[in-house]
Amino acid sequence: VSMAMKMATVEKAGELLEKLRSASWDAAVK
């Protein structure tokens, strides 16, 4: 696995986590 590939995967995972966190936050607030 190339370094660029790894970085892209990490970035995607981060975005996914961010979405999940904001979604659960919205659910908790409402």
pLDDT mean for each 10 residues of the chain (30 residues): 93 97 91
Distance CA 3, CA 23 (A): 30
Three-state SS annotation for 2-29: CHHHHHHHHHHHHHHHHHHHHHHHHHHH
Q: What's the pLDDT score for residue 10? A: 96
Q: How far apart are CA 30 and CA 15, in angstroms?
A: 23
| pLDDT of res. 3 | 94
Q: What is the pLDDT of residue 12?
A: 97
pLDDT at 1: 77
Question: What is the reported pLDDT for 2?
Answer: 93
Classify 2 as helix, strand or coil.
Answer: coil
The two structure tokens encoding residue 20: 């999940």
Look-up of token digits 């975005």: 15
User: Model pTM?
Assistant: 0.59
pLDDT of residue 30: 81
